[in-house]
Copies of this chain bind each other. A is one copy, B any other.
Amino acid sequence: MSLNLQTHTEHFTNPLYLESGRILEPYDITYETYGELNEDKSNVVVVCHALTGSHHAAGTYEDERKAGWWDGLIGSGKAVDTDKYFVICTNVIGSCFGSTGPMSPKHPHHEPYRYKFPVVTIKDMVKAQRILFDRLDIHRVEAIIGGSMGGMQALQFAIHYPNFAKKIIALATTYATQPWAIAFNKVASESILKDPEFKQGYYDPEVIKENGLSGMAVGRMAGHISFLSHESMDEKFGREYKRTDGLYELFGKFQVESYLEYNGYNFTKWFDPLAYLYITKAINIYDLSRGFDSLAEALQKITAKLHLISFSNDMLFKSDEMKHIDDVLNENAQTNHKYIDIQSDYGHDAFLVELEKFDFYIKEALDE
């Protein structure tokens, strides 16, 4: 069967009350769907994207060379089987792929928000999605799945909308962002802010896309380090030189340097710097226990079956952090969960690239 990829944008005029006390009004949410919604709307699976991801999780548009970011996982006969499930992936608020973010026009003017955009949290992103699903008349879903920031969303769903999903599958994520991850985000934000072409937030997005923004490229390069691991870098690059004669040239390049440079600069062609600042802020202040006395109290809200999947060499969100959730649940005799740590050399990127190590597990969890 076909993937039946569809893209939609919904417009909301009701105010979105944010965790900060501020209001976002009006706002749009752009989302993609795959598969067919069944008659009683009981076959919905929600997929949540990571920091620089988008609603485009699967399939390939006509003008695209690369498929959606989790195409290997979502589709006909795949782990998230679109012959069976109706899959929805929404672009989070604060991002730059159709949902309202800092470069969206600030009502009633047509000027972008820029710094007037309110800080949004992972909880706010989830709240906006919940409102979208309400409009779509979807009130209970089979599962919510996400990795990295997508996993943060899945966990927030589990705690704040405990009756919404039967199953929660969170990969390569954490219960609260730790200083190691915040530090990497800091390198990126500082680098963006100090780039004169960023013009203190008053850049022309078209100019940035055209010329690149070296500050964001440098920040992304740091990000790529955090997505990998010592082992994956040794495997991918070793000490290979791009040109054999570059050894004694100051700007001679190792393969790992070319990789970072290519990905860093390419990134500036498709991502918005203010969105980067706002989303990394949301990640930095993500903490499941906020508003509760403890993480244990927060986790007690969960009624869904919870699947926690970490990757042994994840340097960004360490296995220990997922294990900590498992430990707290066990201490409180909450038994409706499973935690597995997958042996992988890939580092954080494993949730995007080593699908064969966990797709069967997701299939099993969904079909349970």
Interface residues of A (CB under 8 A from B): 19-22, 115, 118-119, 176-180, 182-184, 186-187, 190-191, 194-196, 214-215, 217-218, 221-222, 224-225, 228, 230, 233-234, 236-239, 247-250, 254-257, 260-261, 264, 277-278, 281, 284-285, 287, 318
Bound CA span A218–B221, Å: 12
Partner of A119, one of B180, B194, B249: B249
* Contact partners of A195 in chain B: CB under 8 A: 194
Tell me which residues across on chain B come within 8 A of A194, comparing CB atoms. Answer: 195, 214-215, 217-218
Q: A233 and B179: CB pair below 8 A? A: yes
- A248 vs B285: C-alpha distance when bound (angstroms): 8
Contact indicator B190/A250 (Cβ below 8 Å): no
A180 and B260 contacting across the interface, CB-CB below 8 Å: no
* 10 additional A-B residue pairs with CB within 8 Å, beyond A179-B238, A180-B228: A21-B248, A22-B248, A118-B248, A178-B234, A179-B236, A180-B225, A186-B257, A187-B218, A191-B191, A218-B218
Question: Chain A interface secondary structure, helix, strand, loop or mixed?
Answer: helix
Number of copies: 2
Given contacts A187-B260, A233-B183, are A250 and B176 in contact (CB under 8 A)?
Answer: no
A22 / chain B contacts, CB cutoff of 8 Å: 248
A256 to B178, CA, bound (A): 10
Given that A230-B318, A318-B230 are known contacts, is A183 also in contact with B256, CB under 8 Å in the complex?
A: yes
Most buried by B among A118, A190, A236: A190
User: Known contacts being A194-B218, A218-B190, A287-B239, is A230 close to B182, with CB within 8 Å?
Assistant: no
B176, B218, B225, B257: the one within 8 Å of A191 (CB) = B218
CA distance A260 to B176 in the complex (A): 20
| Contact present for A257 and B19 (CB under 8 Å) | no
- Chain B residues contacting A281 (CB-CB under 8 Å) are 250
Q: How far is the CA of A119 from the CA of B118 in the complex (A)?
A: 48
> CA–CA, A235 to B182, complex, Å?
14
- Cβ of A180: which chain B residues have Cβ within 8 Å of it? 225, 228, 230, 233-234
With A215-B194, A233-B179 as given contacts, are A187 and B250 in contact (CB-CB < 8 Å)?
no
Contact B250 A20 (CB under 8 A): no
Bound complex: CA A232 to CA B236 (Å): 28
The reply to whether B264 and A190 form a contact with Cβ atoms under 8 Å apart is yes
Contact B284 A183 (CB under 8 A): no
Known contacts A186-B256, A191-B191, A261-B186; A179/B237 CB under 8 A: yes
Q: Report A200 CB to chain B, min CB distance, Å.
A: 12
B contact residues around A217 at 8 Å (CB):
190, 194
A292 CB, min distance to chain B CBs, angstroms: 15
Complex Cα gap A92–B222 (Å):
28
A228 to B187, CA, bound (A): 15
A182-B254 in contact (CB<8A): yes
